[in-house]
Amino acid sequence: MIVDTAGRLAVDEVMMNEIAAIKKAVNPEEILFVVDAMTGQDAVNTAKEFNDRLNFDGVVLTKLDGDTRGGAALSIRSVVEKPIKFVGTGEKLDAIDVFHPDRMADRILGMGDIVSLVEKAQEQYNEEEARILQKKIAKNQFDFNDFIGQIQQIKKMGNLKDLAAMIPGVGKQIKDLDIDDDAFKGIEAIIRSMTPAERETPEILNGSRRVRIAQGSGTNVQEVNKLIKQFDETRKMMRMMTQAGGAKGAMRKLRRR
C-alpha cells in the first residue's frame, strides 16, 4: 500500500505536524520524499526539514522532463545523506525510472543520456516486428503503413525535446528551441488521407492523387510532394543499410557513388 500525503511547496508547521501524525499512525516500512526538480536549491531546505521530522529513507526527483538538469540532486544527497531512488519524467506510471547517478551526472554536465534513450527505444520495439520490418526493407517493400507505424513508436517514447536532449551535444543546441509534440501531425494527416492501395504502393501516387491527398489532409501539394520525396530517400537509405551490412557499409557505398 502507498500512502500519498498532501503536497506542499514550503515548510508549513501545521502540515508538518500532520505528516508526523500520519507516520505514527501508519508506521510505514519506507518513506520516500518526493521533490520537484524545478524548485532547484530551495528543495534542499525542504528536504532537510522533512528528514529532521521523519527520517525518510530516500528521495524521488520529479519533473525531469522539463528544462531543469537536476542539479538539486547533488545538494539533497549531500545534505540529508539519503539516496535518490527514483526519478519522474512525466505524469503517468511508466514515466517513473530507477535513478542512475552516472546518467544524472551526464545530464547535469549537458552530455546527454544516450543509455536511457536506447532503453526507451527497446521498451517500444518488439524483436519479431523488427525482423519482419527488416525483411520488408531488404525487399524494398517498406511502405507508408510501416512509415506511420514507426512514427507511432517514436511518439510512445515521450516528449520529442526530451528525447533529443538525451543525444550527446544536442541538449545545449535545443535548450531554447520550442519543439512541438505535434510535429508529426501534418505527416500523419497526409498518410491517413491516402487510400490503402496508395499506402501499400507509393509508386502509384501521381499528380491527381497528390492533389486529392493534399485537400483531404488540409495541406498543400508541395507538402505532400516533400513527404513523398523524404519517404523515397528514407526507403533507399534503409535498403542500402540492410544490403551493405549496416551504417558503415552504407557509408562506403555512398562514397563510391
SS3 state of residue 85: strand
Positive or negative: CA dihedral 87, 150, 245, 128: positive
pLDDT at 136: 80
CA dist., res. 197 & res. 144, Å (int): 10
SS3 state of residue 249: helix
Distances (CA, A) of 154 to 181, 247, 253: 11, 20, 28
CA dist., res. 132 & res. 64, Å (int): 35
Quick one: cell of 216? 483531404
CA dist., res. 221 & res. 241, Å (int): 30
Q: In sequence order, which residues have a C-beta less than 8 Å from that of residue 40 and are 6 or more positions away?
A: 68, 71, 72
pLDDT at 251: 43
Chain length of the chain: 257
> Got the DSSP string for 29-82?
S--EEEEEGGGTTHHHHHHHHHHHHH--SEEEEE-TTSS---THHHHHHHHH--
Q: In sequence order, which residues have a C-beta less than 8 Å from that of residue 19 and are 6 or more positions away?
A: 5, 50, 53, 54
Positive or negative: CA dihedral 45, 51, 57, 62: negative
pLDDT at 30: 93
Distances (CA, A) of 192 to 185, 196, 214: 10, 9, 11
Q: In sequence order, which residues have a C-beta less than 8 Å from that of residue 235 and are 6 or more positions away?
A: 137, 140, 142
What is the distance of C-alpha 19 from the center of its chain?
34
Which residue, chain included where needed, has cell 520525396? 229
pLDDT in tens, 49-78: 888 888 899 888 887 765 455 566 677 777
Task: Name the nearest CA neighbour of 78 among 52, 57, 50, 48.
Answer: 48
Average pLDDT, the chain: 75
Higher model confidence: residue 217 or residue 109? 217
CA dist., res. 12 & res. 57, Å (int): 21
pLDDT in tens, 123-156: 666 667 767 777 887 787 888 988 888 777 777 7
Q: How confident is the model at residue 247 (pLDDT cuts 50, 70, 90)?
A: very low
pLDDT at 118: 58
